[in-house]
Amino acid sequence: MDENKQAMNEEELEQVAGGASDSIHDLNNFVTKTVCNVIHYDETACLTLRRSPNGSIIQGVGWQNGDPIRVHRTYRESGWYFAYKNGLYGYVNPNNVR
């Protein structure tokens, strides 16, 4: 096989062909919940969107107590909610969502 070519697995082939559905990023699978229990040390305190559970913060994306938040109805990673805001997906601490 040519070294510049790589074999694709079935999932990749299906996605390229347009047959795969991406239920994790389908906003129809998200529900609205409410942000709570954010401790306000100062005006910048908020629930932050992270790249992975307990991982690095996605700057400029956050919620205050009482704000609505869209989270996936079933998908979780290490217990963290998979959330969406302004075209970005990431993870939020489930202790701050009800």
Strands of 37-95, DSSP E: 47-50, 57-63, 68-77, 80-85, 88-92
How far CA 79 is from CA of 47, 49, 94, 95, in Å, comes to: 16, 15, 7, 10
In tens, the pLDDT along 39-92 reads 987 777 899 999 999 999 999 999 999 999 999 999 999 999 999 999 999 999
Contact 57/90 with Cβ under 8 angstroms? no
In tens, the pLDDT along 11-32 reads 454 555 554 568 999 999 999 9
Contact 51/44 with Cβ under 8 angstroms? no
CA count, 13 A, side-chain hemisphere, 22: 7
